[in-house]
Structure 1
Amino acid sequence: MSWLPGTDSGALDDPQSVEMVIIPRTGDIGNFEVKRALPFRRKRMVGPFIFWDQMGPGEFLTGQGIDVRPHPHIGLSTVTYLFNGTMDHKDSLGNDMRIVPGDVNLMTAGSGIVHSERTGHDIRETPSNLYGIQSWIAQPKSHEAGAPAFEHTDVKKLPRFDADGIQGRVILGEFDGIKSPASTQWETLYVDLNLSGGARLPISATTEERAIYVLKGQIEIAGVVYDPEQMMVLRPGDKITVKALDDVRMMLLGGAAMDGPRYIWWNFVSSSKDQLEQAKEDWRKGRFAKVPGDEKEFIPLPE
């Protein structure tokens, strides 16, 4: 996905185990709505997560779909995770992959990669929908100038758990002794969770930085009720219990605090402002590699 301009919305402070509630701001990418929680002016990252978009849910008429033209990235990994619909990913390494619900699409930019995301021609033959999360994970300083890479993990390979009204899938990292096979360069936690009404989920303080993003239903933490489509940043070091007030779907994300601040400009992330300037110049001058099969279009550098 490509960076969308916009202003921050609001945040609410809570004196209990929730350090901050981030109310996402809404944007539009070609008649398709996204809600952005990160980056936020008072919370730039949660662990390595530096960008967080809820895509949809949205519907497309016959002949329509999402068309994110080729655009560049440096210094980050994109993580695409869908609940409904499909997206066709193409990148400058030659990868051509259809993303379906539950798969993990992990594209690591390193020193530079270009990709596009579109609705497939066959999918456009009938009405379709799209709903999911796309996030960016900042790369550690030791890897941000490395070679680009791509990894796709099929939903069937992701470990699941189901007990006491709680179902989950570990997307990245390790949760409650269950580990995802997907690669990470930094300590990262990312879990897809479904809670039946009345279920209680304890979340340990093992992970340094954590947040919850509720997609559906209401949750309660320390007696405070939280609505869906908000990001609750948890206080470091606190053991908390999430109670589902009705059927809930939520994402748990976080990881170790990053190894220093990150600068973000458009689709570029780096620990160095000079590297951001170099990336701007490289895209302006056409020095990034092309996307095979999608060479005719591109997103120009913002002015």
Structure 2
Amino acid sequence: MNNKLLVDERQADLGNFMVGRLLPFRKKRQVGPFTFIDHMGPTKLGPGRYMDVNQHPHIGLSTLTYLFEGQIEHRDSIGSVQNIAPGDVGFMTAGKGVTHTERTPQQLRDGREFAMHGYQIWVALPPELEEMEPRFDYFPAAEIPTWQEGPITFKLAAGEAFGKKAPLQGFSPLFMVDVFSSAETTLKLAGQLCGEVAFVIVKGQINVDSQKVDAGQMLISKTDEQCEICMDANTQLLLFGGEPLRQEHFLLWNFVSSDKDKLQKAKAAWQAKKFPQVPGDDTYIPIPELKR
């Protein structure tokens, strides 16, 4: 695989547990239209320790939530209320501006301990759609295309890949595929994906060009050119990427835009509490002081 980059997770606090952040990093700000990745868990939640991410804003992006374990209750300022369970896909498009919360659902706050593990991935919008009306789309696990090839199980969470098409297409050419192999095997990608490709190793290990890549790492290739990887037994990957957006995009806290002025205006609007609110929620996360 040519032009590859290897990335390690960086730990950060999110609510009451740690997340690993894989994108962006200094050498690579985006993979296709994907601009930010949070790895939530794996961890145990339970009495006195739940996910409670208070009201916060976004512009210029879509958030894609995909879980392996646990649940998240999504609420937003356009009135959406949705529990996202393992295998489901939640896709909130901020457009010109939206506010939301992410919490452990009430039915899991019953004294039990439970596992929490998943990813939230941000997808930048093309410049002409940055001012679109916000919306929320939800696709239950039963609607996600799933198929088997030898020891490998594929789940196409978004976009087009391997000759198949997901219900979620997004707003530019992209793909996200959950891949699990029960036995050691070779995954051949030539002609199966289009655009830049990233491999997030969820569990297990892969081998590429005699280099081992472990869980918690991400491998990036600028193209899918004749690419193949060797997966160890019981290895799970997320493949994601697509065609790069034609304009550079910038990131400021929870805001993404091709126009830096929009980022500053969104920051001022949030500080002035001019964003729409989640119905019945008066929580507020202030913008952190950014390191210079």
* SS of equivalent residue, structure 1 residue 122: helix
Segments ≥4 residues shifted beyond 4 Å: none
* SS of equivalent residue, structure 1 residue 147: coil
Task: Report the number of matched residues.
Answer: 287
Which of the residues 111, 114, 119 maps onto 2:99?
114
Deviation at 1:242, TM superposition (A): 1.5
**Structure-1 residue corresponding to 2:61:** 76
Which of the residues 35, 44, 64 maps onto 2:20?
35
Aligned pairs for 1:125-164 (under 5 A) are 125=110, 126-164=112-150
Deviation at 1:301, TM superposition (A): 2.4
Aligned pairs for 1:94-109 (under 5 A) are 94-109=79-94
Would you say 1:46 and 2:34 are equivalent positions? no
* SS of equivalent residue, structure 1 residue 52: strand
Deviations 1:42-80 (A, max 9, x none): 100000010011100011132420110000000000000
Is this contact kept in 2: 1:282–1:288, CA < 8 A? yes
Instruction: Give the whole-Å Cα distance in 2 for the aligned partners of 1:100 and 1:162.
Output: 22
Is this contact kept in 1: 2:197–2:224, CA < 8 A? no
Instruction: Give the whole-Å Cα distance in 2 for the aligned partners of 1:229 and 1:31.
Output: 20
Is this contact kept in 1: 2:31–2:241, CA < 8 A? yes
Instruction: Give the whole-Å Cα distance in 1 for the aligned partners of 2:57 and 2:157.
Output: 24
* SS of equivalent residue, structure 2 residue 109: helix
Deviations 1:180-212 (A, max 9, x none): 011310001100000122221111254121110
Structure 1 window deviating more from structure 2 (76-85 vs 113-122): it is 113-122
Deviation at 1:140, TM superposition (A): 0.3
- TM-score scaled by length of structure 2: 0.95
Instruction: Give the whole-Å Cα distance in 2 for the aligned partners of 1:193 and 1:90.
Output: 29
* SS of equivalent residue, structure 1 residue 135: strand
Would you say 1:300 and 2:282 are equivalent positions? no
- Identity among equivalent positions (%) equals 38
Deviations 1:104-160 (A, max 9, x none): 000000000000001122211122221001100000011011111110001101101
Structure 1 window deviating more from structure 2 (225-234 vs 235-244): it is 235-244
Which of the residues 51, 55, 58 maps onto 2:40?
55
**Structure-1 residue corresponding to 2:183:** 197
**Structure-1 residue corresponding to 2:195:** 208
Is this contact kept in 2: 1:196–1:244, CA < 8 A? no
Would you say 1:231 and 2:218 are equivalent positions? yes
Is this contact kept in 1: 2:71–2:86, CA < 8 A? yes
Is this contact kept in 1: 2:196–2:244, CA < 8 A? yes
Unaligned runs of 5+ in 1: 1-15
Deviation at 1:169, TM superposition (A): 0.4
Would you say 1:169 and 2:160 are equivalent positions? no
Instruction: Give the whole-Å Cα distance in 1 for the aligned partners of 2:127 and 2:247.
Output: 9
Instruction: Give the whole-Å Cα distance in 1 for the aligned partners of 2:184 and 2:114.
Output: 33
Instruction: Give the whole-Å Cα distance in 2 for the aligned partners of 1:30 and 1:176.
Output: 37
* SS of equivalent residue, structure 1 residue 40: coil
Is this contact kept in 2: 1:219–1:225, CA < 8 A? yes
Is this contact kept in 1: 2:247–2:258, CA < 8 A? yes
